[in-house]
Amino acid sequence: MHLMPSHDVVMRTIIEIPEQDLHQLKELCSREHISRAEAIRRAVRDLLRRHRRPDGDEAFALWRDRAQDALSYEDGLRDEWSS
């Protein structure tokens, strides 16, 4: 089980969960031996991970596997503008 370190900043909140979802959440928590709060923290963490915006490191070498290098691609676009 994951316990939150005491130095983390936390926010308590109230959310409305439909009854059907709440029932499924209760079953999941029972199977996983975790609290509802931990299940919701994991769900939020997963959602944020899946929708994370790429930082500069993830864009580095983006053109590595392309046949045309980025500069010649850019030049081609500029040629289109002058046509």
Q: How many whole angstroms separate alpha carbon 80 and alpha carbon 83? A: 5
Torsion sign, CA atoms 10, 12, 17, 23: positive
Q: Taking the model in full, what pTM does it have? A: 0.56
Q: How many whole angstroms separate alpha carbon 5 and alpha carbon 2? A: 9
pLDDT of 6 > 90? The answer is: no
Going from N- to C-terminal start, the domains of the chain cover 19-82
pLDDT (tens digit, 9 = 90+) per residue, 22-35?
999 999 999 999 99
pLDDT of 5 > 70? The answer is: no
Average pLDDT over residues 27-56: 92
- 5 touches 16 (CB < 8 A): no
Q: Which residues contact 22 (CB under 8 A, 6 or more apart)?
A: none
- 1 touches 33 (CB < 8 A): yes
